[in-house]
Structure 1
Amino acid sequence: MADRVLVTGGTGKTGRLVADGLVWRGIDARSATRRPFSADQVRFDWADDTTHDAALDGVSSVYLVAPTDRIDHLAAMRPFLERAVARVPGRLVLLSASSLDRNGPMMGEVHGWLDAHTSRWTVLRPSWFMQNLTTQHLPSILEDGCIYSATADGRVPFIDAADIAAVAVAALCDLVPPSGDHVLTGPEAMSYDEVASAITEVIGRPVRHCRLTTRELAARYTAFGLPEDYATTLALMDETIATGAEDRTTGEVERMTGRPATTLASFLTGQRAVLGSAGF
């Protein structure tokens, strides 16, 4: 059982939920952030190894969320990972993605490194977050009535970040077997056309799926300020969805938490005020 867990990405989509879930179980959760502002947070920067040792003091397990501003994740994370493997007696739980295999790009490299250097690892590979609809897609939903993607008719088993966090807490508390990866999905795979229709039904205002080519989507991301290599990588992920790579569901959320995964319909209903905030 974990006594103190370091939660990297502690203020992010899953990190803050993981911290809350650990506290609810009576476990000391230390949230790592570049700008701590409370006693339960610690200064941490992947790029500043002078912050690493202090963040690991007294820690028995770690939740690992890769930096989001680059794609060479192993290069960025390795100095900290080496310290964590040497100092942390418990589980290292990595948030990866369903599209990233072990030894593949981005978090896939980190997955492979953990497998080669410790037996105390668990890798969570969720599909695309439902929360993307209320964050990165929200401006275009509100302003254009549109979800832009290069996924064509590809289907995605969208998953609630709260379900990912619940699985992470179970892993950090040693309630699931170590040294394995788990593909996490919602209960149904849906195309973006179907997602747009579902949003339309919830908010009573037309939303459609606006289809882009992979190149057009990469250019859109670059226009928003993302580095070109990162923008291209993200756009290519949409291209793999178009080929059917994400059209699957698993029962891992229920198996590992004891409760069913959240449906997209339920999530959208709970987010009606956000998605309809353009005056509807």
Structure 2
Amino acid sequence: MTTPNDIKPALESDTVLVLAATGKTGRRVTALLGRAARPASRSSSTRFDWNDADTWEPALAGTTAVYVVPPDNPALLPEFVALAVKSGVTRLVLLSMRGAPDDDPFEAAIKESGVEWTILRPTWFMQNFDEDMFAAPVQHGELAVPAGQGIHPFIDVLDIAEVAVVALTQPGHAGQTYELSGSESLSFAEMLARIVTVTGDPILYTDVAADEFAASMRELGYPDEIADLVTMLLVRIRTGEEAHLSDGVQRVLGREPRTFDDYLGSSRFV
């Protein structure tokens, strides 16, 4: 079994550029890489902003691998990839998503880079319940999404980060697309019930219409394309298209993914 701890002693300092380093996956990738990481974001000491191309080259200087959390605008990624390769980067690992089409422009930019690449396609993140999209509704006692009683194998972000670090630093993962999921498919009602057993605070799950949910996201300030994408992905859970398990974590790490209960034990709910 290959783990991130196996590779850190062999890495030079500051050689892996980690984009979105303050995000859910980026900060965990950074922590696992240790001194080998160069964390970059709009608020990091190494500044990186997709909308400011002047920040790209300084962030890339001297690095040999990049953990790529893509921009909202797919047109920016080919330009960045070309600059990364010109700067000496020889390996790219992209955070994509389950269900990405074969002609996905983000994945195409990575695959056409001319250097070693790996694509990660994870399911929904367990950490959405305490760090992101679902956190505020859960805290206020009601989560309303258009997922019905559909089930989905949410994944612990730490599993994604560990897979990413191995792909960034070890041989044998070039040209691979890894479908990543958790170890069990659960409904939103089941996951919220497990959260309640930890917190003791009641949480109501409400199934809402897709258009109502999309409108609520827009009211919260999400762009139309994000609101529509998130709504579509939740409806896919409702219809049963997202229930299947994937084996990417097992293939890369040689172990089963963390369970939802494992996540709860280390979450902000405890």
1:63 correspondence with 2:57:
no
Match in the other structure for 2:92: 92
Over aligned residues, Cα RMSD in angstroms? 1.8
Amino acid at match of 1:197: A
1:1-33 deviation per Cα after TM superposition (whole angstroms, max 9, x unaligned): 76410000111111111111111xxx5210111
Q: Using the TM superposition, give the Cα deviation of residue 269 of structure 1 relative to its aligned residue in structure 2, in angstroms.
A: 3.0
1:34-59 deviation per Cα after TM superposition (whole angstroms, max 9, x unaligned): 123xxxx4111111111111111111
Segments of 4+ moved more than 6 angstroms: none
1:185-242 deviation per Cα after TM superposition (whole angstroms, max 9, x unaligned): 1100111121122112222232232111110110111111111222122111111222
> Percent identity, aligned pairs only?
34
Match in the other structure for 2:6: none
1:74-100 deviation per Cα after TM superposition (whole angstroms, max 9, x unaligned): 213222111113333421000011121
1:34 correspondence with 2:42:
yes
Amino acid at match of 2:61: D
Q: Is the 2:47–2:55 Cα contact (8 Å) retained in structure 1? A: yes
Match in the other structure for 2:75: 75
Gap change, CA 1:208 and 1:234, over 3 Å in 2? same
Which of 266, 272, 275 is the equivalent residue of 2:269? 275
Whole-angstrom distance in 2 between the partners of 1:233 and 1:254: 28
Q: Using the TM superposition, give the Cα deviation of residue 119 of structure 1 relative to its aligned residue in structure 2, in angstroms.
A: 4.4
Deviates more, 1:5-14 or 1:79-88: 79-88
1:252 correspondence with 2:245:
no
Amino acid at match of 1:94: L
TM-score normalized by the length of structure 1: 0.86
Match in the other structure for 1:16: 27
Give the match's secondary structure for 1:18.
Answer: helix
1:99-156 deviation per Cα after TM superposition (whole angstroms, max 9, x unaligned): 21332xxxx311022223324110101100000000221211121x222211112211
Gaps of 5+ in 2: 1-9
Whole-angstrom distance in 2 between the partners of 1:54 and 1:134: 34
Which of 156, 159, 167 is the equivalent residue of 2:163? 167
Q: Is the 2:156–2:182 Cα contact (8 Å) retained in structure 1? A: yes
Match in the other structure for 2:50: 46
Give the match's secondary structure for 2:112.
Answer: helix
Whole-angstrom distance in 2 between the partners of 1:154 and 1:91: 37
Q: Is the 2:41–2:49 Cα contact (8 Å) retained in structure 1? A: yes
Match in the other structure for 1:101: 101
Q: Is the 1:49–1:79 Cα contact (8 Å) retained in structure 2? A: no
1:139 correspondence with 2:136:
yes
Whole-angstrom distance in 1 between the partners of 2:165 and 2:262: 22
Gaps of 5+ in 1: none
Gap change, CA 1:8 and 1:228, over 3 Å in 2? same
Give the match's secondary structure for 1:121.
Answer: strand
Q: Is the 2:77–2:109 Cα contact (8 Å) retained in structure 1? A: no
Gap change, CA 1:55 and 1:28, over 3 Å in 2? same
Q: Using the TM superposition, give the Cα deviation of residue 255 of structure 1 relative to its aligned residue in structure 2, in angstroms.
A: 2.5
Amino acid at match of 2:60: L
Whole-angstrom distance in 2 between the partners of 1:190 and 1:77: 34
Trace 1:114-125 onto structure 2 (pairs within 5 A). Answer: 114-125=110-121
